[in-house]
Structure 1
Amino acid sequence: MANYRAPLRDMQFVLHELLDVETTLTGLPGYQDANRELIDSVLESAARFAEEVLQPLNRSGDEEGCRLENGQVITPQGFKDAYQRFCADGWTGLDCDPDYGGQGLPKTLGFPISEMNTSANMAWAMYPGLSHGAYAAIHAHGSDEQKNTYLPHLINGNWSGTMCLTEPHCGTDLGLLKTRAEPQADGSYQISGTKIFISSGDHDMSDNVVHLVLARLPDAPKDVKGISLFIVPKFLPNGGGVGERNAVSVGSLEHKMGIKGNATCVMNFDGATGFLIGEANRGMQYMFTMMNAARLGVGMQGLGINEVAFQAALAYARDRLQMRAMNMPAAPDKPADPIIVHPDVRRMLLTMKAYAEGGRAFSSWLALLLDVEDRAEDPAQRQDAADLMALLIPVAKAFMTDNGFEAANLGLQVFGGHGYIREWGMEQFVRDARIAQIYEGTNGIQALDLIGRKVLLDQGQKLRKFTKLVHKFCEAHEGDAAMAEFITPLAQLNKAMGEVTLKIGMASMQNRDEAGAAATDYLRLLGHLVFGWFWARMAALSLPKSHEPFYGAKLATARFYYAKLLPETQMLLARLASGAKPLMALEDEHFQF
């Protein structure tokens, strides 16, 4: 099994050459010291941790899994030690508020670190990832007392966090939620109910687990309008540390397909003491602070698995000897040629490479938008960043995890039969990658969110902010013969995006099923437009330096994307043109077996 190596050269290309993050970040209040030297130093340290500490635990963690002993979840051997080192080195507070013990570094740094950790050990990386989401929600919406009580511990890693949404009878439809919150005389609440599929719900790596729980007050309105958000710690805070055990328990551990080193728990709240965050009945609004962060994090999981599967498949393809190249022997001194010479193997490897590098560019830009939204002094600049983030969060989550799962499967296919057995590790990547298309809102839900709430609800205003960026790029390169192979199809797709959006909007005014029927194809179409824009930008940077191996490879990969992957958009446009009728014509009772 090949060893993972963090793709630092490509990360540096994206951050410094493509996005020039130093110029943007150092112009934001509080980030004046975020120069290239600092960024590269942090990434190099993170790479060593991922490669040397996390990756060696990936396979053993999968094989050992978590276990429940006397109500306590025990994580795989080595996970706790790795977590303690992660905390001691300050990684848990990297981009957190210095007022509560964080380092205050840009979010732009957090995304590539998330990618590296996921590539090295996706199950382990989920523990600090969820804690960061809990930090973000309390930081944004908690009272000063709550912030002072919980944030320092979440930042230093002594306490970890979860979010508890799903119940046995409701997943996406949280309006069916039944968990109750009874007000108490001291201002606290008693929380009663059962939550399922709670990632990192309990473990032995931190002193406390801070659950963020959605529940209903007795007089709450029906549906999602009547949901509130509560802090429910495993141990009640006491003088800066932990006090008595709360009435929170692990009902069971889920036996699941992948991410076996992460504890996915059924959590029982039996009159547990909870504390209301913000105002009553605004829990969904507050939880979206955490959910949006989690959805971006899940998109990074798709990217992380994509990258590590590509690296493993590439190493195998260089070593595995099978048959001869079709034109002439590539290794005449050997009994057969390495399979990397065969066109179909190269198709699979290039698909993985193109999706990984496109996803890295996209996600790094999103991270930079987060910093601009948070810190820019110009309100219009902040609003533009917020609108682009709102539009593209579902694309990042769904498009990158769909691509990540495809990459994991392609990587397994490169190995052939050896990929299907355990010893090479490829089947674990497939199993681990699959959940990313499901949790934090299935990719179908992301598609509905995109087309319904993010595009049609505001008549395409947010979408136009993005397509305008693409249009300006195409306009800037109009007449550049060397870029025509990218600019012509990109401009055509950008125009088609606007046209098909208008058609779907008009059709859905007559029949709402039209938007639902279009949603998944529409999201993938926009995903290709985003990746196409980034690949064209990377091609423009690489053309003058294409004699250098790195840039020559970048340009060749851009050409592959445009020749072999972007044409999927023609099929998507054809499917979108067919409307809802092919999906809805068959009556329910005629689905038979």
Structure 2
Amino acid sequence: MSFARQADITARLLEVSPSWSELLSRREELDTGLIRMVIEGAAQFSENRIAPLAQIADREGCRLVNGRVVAPQGYKEAWHALCDEGWLGLDLPAEAAGQDLPLALHTAAQMLFDCACPAFAMLAGSTRSAVFVLDAFGDEEARSEWLPRLGAGEWSATICISEPDAGSDVGRIRTRADRGPDGRWRISGQKCWISFGDHDVTSRIGHLLLARTGPAELGTRGLSLFLVPDSLPDDSGGYRRSGIAVERIEEKLGLHGSPTCVLNFEQAEAILLGELNRGLPQLFLMIERMRLLTAGQGTATALAALDIAERYACERRQGGAPERAPIPIIEHCDVRRQLTVMACRTQALHAFVLELAAIIDLANFTGNEAEGRDLEALSAWLLPLAKNFGAEIGFETASAAIQILGGAGYTKEWPAERLLRDSRILSIFEGTTGMQALDLLHRRLWKDEGRGLRILADRIRQEAARAADREAANLALDVLSRLEALAEHFSRLRTDRGAAETGADAFLRAAWACVFAWMSLRLVSLLDKPRDETDRYLGAIGRYGLHEAEVEMTAAEKRCQIPADLAAAPWSAPDPWS
């Protein structure tokens, strides 16, 4: 993969982001040279230290040996290099051994790491996200003990929510937290789907865990958030194992280098974080960052798959006049069409994830309370779209790359099939597609009364007004106006919940079509004064992307018109004994 080219495109997409430019005007310590240095350094690190792990991790996977998980060879060394060179702590606070750089810059680097080996990079995602939760809700003792070690990568962290009978339905969690006579909390229960739930890469693991402290009938209101260390200090000055046991590692379709564990907790000592019975709202600080991370993982998959397909199409020779040498398949019109579709979706997504991260940065770096609330509403509207379509476009682009490679793509000789396997989970964990659609409908359109959409519409109209290409601007504005019409339609459906929820997925896709058009318009702006072939490439696929966005909006509109009684047949559970 051409990591240097990806780094160059990333830097250019940041340069044309109004949100990023606004952030730079407020943070004078940041300059173009520093930004380029970080992104190019991340590309070099990804190529030299992380990419060699990908094939090894997929082939070896993780093993359970004497009750402990053993990571693939090379993980420890790569992890220590990642942390020692400061990549883990780019945007972490100084208290956590961090550099306090913008989230957008970290996101740019993280996507390069994910391009190289997403299974390995997942350990960094949960660890750094945990830092922000502990910083916000941990007491002074927990913060002083855990933050520096997490930020330095000496210790790591997980997120423990799901149980065998409580996946997305968090209110049915049964894991208990009880406070003993000594005043200490102890956790008992089982948690599953825990990425890096156990491993030998770091010396200690802290589990951010939801457990029931209130009666079951309270649902999510009876859950509290805890930090549960996998080991505790002993009298010798070292650490002894806590009451946590690994039951098994899941055998998965992909991400073999990321151990997905089932953990049993038996009176494991825990530290209460924040307020009692406020666990889920507090943990959302981590969940939201993990959803942005998932969007970046999908983007990275798409970028890697596109790179493979483009290189193969330039090298593979097939067809042409029989009396002449075969031509590169990129000269075939249909191959060029396929690559253009892949490229316009991938680079629009790439620009969007960077834009969203910059918006989150601005929300956290403003002294204006009203502006902060607007930016939070905007990011809340955009986050379900980034998470879901990052996942979908990552998987679809990996599949499209296999199509370009033909039979070769179906073999392990090329990494396209691994990208497909690794990325299938992205639309499931951190909230499925259906959950993202319902979040957009219930919380962002109904509860927030579409505030985020109104702010987004203002931004798109401002960007369109500045655009030199009026045809492109008008296409983007047309897609926006059609989304606004659909939003009004779904607002009126608030009294008909069944019909609204039946169309929620279609509304989610209409909202994405609008973002797709917005980012495509931004890519077109690079044609105003193109500096080189990269600008011309991005601008050209932006033009195509605007038309693709229009097609996707039309499809979403038609799906919104499907009557609820047709879209929801009278399904019933079969009698297993019949």
Q: Evaluate the alpha carbon distance shift between residue 381 and residue 300 of structure 1 in structure 2; reply closer, same or farther with a 3 A threshold.
A: same
Is the aligned partner of 1:231 residue 2:216?
Answer: no
Report % sequence identity.
33
Give the 3-state SS of the residue equivalent to 1:563 in structure 2.
helix
Q: 1:408-450 CA distances to partner (integer Å, 9 max, x unpaired)? A: 0001111111111111111100000101111011122111111
Per-residue deviation, residues 380-416 of structure 1 (Å, max 9, x unmatched): 2211211111111111000111111110000111111
Q: Are the equivalent residues in 2 in contact too, given 1:208–1:242 (CA < 8 A)?
A: no
Is 1:260 aligned with 2:249?
no
What residue in structure 2 maps to residue 59 of structure 1?
55
Does residue 1:408 correspond to 2:398, yes or no?
Answer: yes
Q: For residue 411 of structure 2, what is the aligned residue in structure 1?
A: 421
How far apart in 2 are the matches of 1:123 and 1:217?
34
Distance 1:385 1:568 in 2: 27
Residue in structure 1 matched with residue 23 of structure 2 by the alignment: 24
Aligned to 2:14: 15
2:557 is the alignment partner of 1:573: yes
Aligned counterpart, 2:370 = 380
After TM superposition, give the deviation of residue 171 of structure 1 in Å.
Answer: 0.7
The aligned amino acid for 2:541 is T
Distance 2:99 2:397 in 1: 35
Q: For residue 22 of structure 1, report the CA deviation from its aligned partner.
A: 5.3
Amino acid at match of 1:21: W
Q: 1:64-88, CA deviations, whole angstroms, 9 ceiling, x for partnerless residues?
A: 0000001111111111110011111
C-alpha separation in 1, matches of 2:94 and 2:453:
35
Partner of 1:524: 509
Q: Return closer, same or farther for 1:583/1:550 CA change in 2, 3 Å cut-off.
A: same
Quote the Cα distance in structure 1 between the aligned partners of 2:574 and 2:442: 29
SS at match of 2:503: helix
Residues 555-581 of structure 1: per-residue CA shift (max 9 Å, x gap): 210121123453121011011122422
Judge conservation of contact 1:521–1:575 (CA < 8 Å) in 2: yes
Change (3 A) 1:547 1:295: closer
Q: Distance in 1 between matches of 2:477 and 2:303?
A: 29
- CA–CA separation in structure 2 for the residues paired with 1:299 and 1:283: 24
In structure 2, do the counterparts of structure 1 residues 562 and 241 end up closer, same or farther at CA, with 3 Å as the change threshold?
Answer: farther
Structure 2 residue 307 is the aligned partner of structure 1 residue 311: yes
Note if contact 2:19-2:362 (Cα within 8 Å) is conserved in structure 1.
no
| 8 Å contact from structure 2 (residues 67, 245) kept in 1 | yes
Residues 587 and 201 of structure 1: CA distance in aligned 2, closer, same or farther (over 3 Å) = closer
In the TM superposition, 1:481-500 aligns within 5 A as 483-500=469-486
Q: Deviations over 1:243-264 (max 9, x none)?
A: 2221011110000000000110
- Number of equivalenced pairs: 577
Q: Name the SS for the 1:275 alignment partner.
A: strand
Q: Give the letter for the 2:564 counterpart.
A: A
Q: Out of 408, 429, 440, which is 1:439 matched to?
A: 429
Query: Once the 2 structures are TM-superposed, how far is the Cα of residue 6 of structure 1 from its aligned partner?
Result: 5.3
Q: Deviations over 1:141-178 (max 9, x none)?
A: 21222111111110000000000001011110011110
1:28-427 → structure 2 map (5 Å cutoff) = 31-217=27-213, 219=215, 222-236=218-232, 243-324=239-320, 335-427=325-417
Which residue type is aligned with residue 167 of structure 1?
A: E
* 8 A Cα contact 1:66 1:73, kept in partner: yes
Q: TM-score of the superposition, structure 2-length normalised?
A: 0.95
Separation of aligned partners in 1, 2:338 and 2:412 = 21
1:559 corresponds in structure 2 to: 543
Q: Which amino acid aligns with 2:136?
A: A
Aligned pairs for 1:526-545 (under 5 A) are 526-540=511-525, 542-545=526-529
Distance 2:558 2:574 in 1: 26
Match of 1:473 in 2: 463
Answer whether contact 1:4 1:311 (CA < 8 A) is retained: no
Q: Which runs of 5+ in 1 are unaligned?
A: none
Conserved 8 A contact 1:6-1:47: no
Please give the alpha-carbon distance, in whole angstroms, between the structure 2 residues aligned to 1:490 and 1:575. Answer: 21
Structure 2: where are the runs of 5+ without partners? Answer: none
How far is 1:320 from its partner? 0.8
Separation (CA, whole Å) in 2 of partners of 1:334 and 1:51: 38
Secondary structure of the structure 2 residue equivalent to 1:91: coil
Alignment partners' CA distance in 2, 1:209 and 1:350? 44
Distance in 2 separating the partners of 1:204 and 1:83: 11
Q: Tell me how large the CA RMSD over aligned residues is.
A: 2.2
Q: Between 578-587 and 199-208, report the one with greater CA deviation.
A: 578-587
Aligned residue among 469, 494, 502 for 2:488 = 502
SS at match of 2:545: helix
Could you say what secondary structure the match of 1:182 adopts? strand
Q: C-alpha distance in 1, partners of 2:233/2:318?
A: 62
Residue 213 of structure 2 aligns to which amino acid in structure 1?
A: L
Contact 1:18 1:538 in 2 (8 A): no
Which residue of 2 is the match for residue 514 of structure 1?
499
Report the secondary structure of 1:285's partner residue: helix
Deviations 1:172-198 (A, max 9, x none): 001111000011233321101111110
* CA spacing shift, 1:366–1:488, aligned 2, 3 Å: same
Please say if residues 188 and 276 of structure 1, whose CA atoms lie closer than 8 Å, have aligned partners that are also in contact. Answer: no
CA distance in 2, matches of 1:261, 1:206: 15
Residues 100 and 406 of structure 1, relative CA distance in 2, 3 Å threshold:
closer
1:550: how far off?
2.2
Change in Cα spacing, 1:549 to 1:412, as seen in structure 2 (3 Å) is same
Counterpart of 1:584 (choices 559, 565, 568) is 568
